């Protein structure tokens, strides 16, 4: 059975019990979701100029990450792991060693699942995060990324390569994820197309031809579709 | 004289976003290059040199945001620094066309990215056009023709 047949449309947002406030803030900033006590939020929409996709938000917290991870890597949790599009883990990088939780996770996680480790400790410098990214972004099939994000500096800007940092980078990771269930946006909203030139006479001739064709159509639905398509095409020249 | 061998665009996570081969190679050779070069380049530190030797040729790479532009060049024929300029010009052209290009633009408009590249580099790997305005003009003309075709199709 092909692994990619799983409906990978769930994002898990995970944090330590003591980081619930940061988790709530991240959910609000990233997914525009004001959490209450819900642990599963169904049918959320992730949208950009190219596509929109529907996903479920899974929200969880732990008292001990090794204990939580021990449960998550068990065979009983395999169906859950297989439907995860991504895991966003909020941690304090000063307290947790990434090796401890990433190593067991990578062996069992679906290859198309992204892992974003969000550091919420303001004392951790970006250089430290860059070092972790250099160490972990090579040789794994899963997308693994470390992000520095704090409530006071939700968006930090760009690094020396012009790469987005903070919340914007999490946004970009979700945008570029290989969603299996995405629906393409209408072409007009995707690329800002340049203005086209057409002589006025030609435009009027085309409009007249379109009018005649519309009138000659027996099926009203088909005629409406034609009229809409025509209007979209001709509007590019106006 | 420039004689590029290939251009590969790869994301920081090792996902291939674009591939263009300018010399005849078997599928296994191409796969080997991608398999070997991607981890080698992704593992390089920011301060390391942007030019490396690989097999019988040299490889020039440059990182822009989360994307690595990797170009294979012919030793003694190509100028590595000029190749870096070609990469930069390619990025600048895409940036102008898309308006602050990002990885998502390249994923969803890969055909346009190939069009831009084809206007700049000929099929044998030599530079066809370095003028950004000219390249953009040609791509815009292609877009207009494509749109006219769509209009004709709707009318017919």
Q: Which of A50, A233, A234 to mutate to test the interface with B (most CBs of B within 10 A)?
A: A233
Q: CA–CA separation, A7 vs A238, rounded Å?
A: 43
Contacts of A160 in chain B (CB under 8 A): 46
Instruction: Name the residue in chain B with its Cα closest to that of A184.
Output: B108
Domain extents for chain A? 3-183, 193-235
* Coil, strand or helix at A102: helix
Measure Cα distances from B126 to A87, A142, A163, A171, B118 in Å: 45, 36, 30, 38, 11
CB B141 within 8 A of CB B119: no
Search chain A and give the residue with CA nearest B36: A139
Question: Does A176 contact B11 at a Cβ distance shorter than 8 Å?
Answer: yes
Sequence-ordered alpha helix ranges (H) in chain A = 20-31, 65-72, 78-82, 98-108, 126-136, 166-175, 200-216, 220-235
Do the chains contact at B103 and A197, CB–CB below 8 Å? no
Instruction: Give the pLDDT mean for A85-103.
Output: 86
What does pTM read for this prediction? Answer: 0.81
Using a CB-CB cut-off of 8 Å, the residues of chain A touching B140 are: 194
CA distance B127 to chain A (A): 26
- What ipTM is given for this predicted complex? 0.85
| pLDDT for residue A118 is more than 50 | yes
**Of A29, A14, A12, A20, which Cα lies nearest the Cα of A169?**
A29
pLDDT at position A217: 76
Query: Distance (Å) from the C-alpha of residue B141 to the closest C-alpha of chain A?
Result: 9
| Alpha carbon of residue A98 to chain centroid | 23
Point out the residue among B42, B103, B143 whose CB comes nearest to the CB of A172.
B103
Domain span at residue B21 reads 4-155
Verify whether the Cβ–Cβ distance A161 to B65 is below 8 Å: yes
Residue A155: is its pLDDT beyond 70?
A: no
pLDDT of residue A237: 67
Record the tokens describing residue A31, joined without a space: 């997914």
**By C-alpha distance, which of A147, A142, A190 is closest to A30?**
A147
Phi, psi values for residue A66, rounded to 5°: -60, -40
- Domain harbouring B116, CATH code: 3.30.450.60
Under an 8 A CB cutoff, do B43 and A138 touch? yes
At residue B53 the predicted structure's pLDDT band, cuts being 50, 70 and 90, is: very high
Number of separate domains in chain B: 1
Q: What is the mean pLDDT of chain A?
A: 82
Does 3.40.50.11960 match the CATH number of domain A3-183? yes
| Nearest-10 Cα torsion for A119, A121, A127, A133 | -10
Residue A176 is nearest to which of B99, B107, B155, comparing CB atoms?
Answer: B107
Residues of B in contact with A138 (CB under 8 A): 14, 39, 42-43
For residue B43, the Cα-to-chain-centroid distance in whole angstroms is 20
In the predicted structure, residue A55 carries a pLDDT above the cut 90: yes
Residue A133 and residue A56: Cα distance in Å, rounded? 27
Residue A161 CB neighbour total at 10 angstroms: 14
Is residue A151 over pLDDT 80?
A: no
Categorize the per-residue pLDDT at A1 as very low, low, confident or very high, splitting at 50, 70 and 90.
very low
Q: Is B143 in CB contact (< 8 Å) with chain A?
A: yes
């Amino acid at each position: 059975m092909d692994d990619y047949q799983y409906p990978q449309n769930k994002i898990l947002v995970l944090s330590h019990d003591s980081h619930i406030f940061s988790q709530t803030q991240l959910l609000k900033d990233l997914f525009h979701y004001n959490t209450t006590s819900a642990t599963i939020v169904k049918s959320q929409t992730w949208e950009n100029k190219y596509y929109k996709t529907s996903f479920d938000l899974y929200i969880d917290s732990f008292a001990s990450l090794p204990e939580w991870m021990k449960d998550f890597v068990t065979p009983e949790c395999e169906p859950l792991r297989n439907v995860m599009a991504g895991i966003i883990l909020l941690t304090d990088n000063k307290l947790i060693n990434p090796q401890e939780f990433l190593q067991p996770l990578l062996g069992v996680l679906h290859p198309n699942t992204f892992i974003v480790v969000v550091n919420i400790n303001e004392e951790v410098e970006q250089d430290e995060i860059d070092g972790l990214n250099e160490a972990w972004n090579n040789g794994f099939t899963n997308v693994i990324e470390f992000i520095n994000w704090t409530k006071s500096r939700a968006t930090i800007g760009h690094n020396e390569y012009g790469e987005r940092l903070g919340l914007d980078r999490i946004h970009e990771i979700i945008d570029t994820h290989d969603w299996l269930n995405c629906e393409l946006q209408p072409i007009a909203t995707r690329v800002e197309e340049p203005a086209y030139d057409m002589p006025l006479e030609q435009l009027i001739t085309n409009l007249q031809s379109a009018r005649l064709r519309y009138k000659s159509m027996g099926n009203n639905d088909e005629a409406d579709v034609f009229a809409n398509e025509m209007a979209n095409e001709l509007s590019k020249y106006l | 004289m420039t004689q590029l061998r290939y251009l590969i665009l790869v994301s920081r996570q090792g996902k291939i976003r674009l591939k263009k081969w300018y010399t005849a190679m078997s599928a296994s050779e191409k796969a080997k290059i991608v398999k070997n070069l991607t981890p080698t380049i992704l593992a390089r530190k920011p301060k390391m040199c942007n030019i490396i030797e690989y097999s019988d040729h040299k490889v020039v790479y440059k990182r822009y945001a989360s994307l690595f532009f990797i170009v294979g060049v012919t030793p003694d024929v190509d100028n590595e620094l000029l190749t870096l300029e070609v990469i930069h010009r390619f990025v600048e052209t895409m940036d102008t066309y898309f308006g602050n290009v990002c990885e998502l633009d390249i994923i969803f408009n890969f055909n346009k990215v190939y069009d831009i590249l084809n206007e700049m580099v000929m099929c044998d790997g030599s530079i066809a056009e370095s003028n950004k305005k000219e390249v953009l003009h040609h791509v815009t003309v292609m877009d207009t023709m494509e749109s006219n075709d769509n209009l004709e199709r709707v009318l017919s």
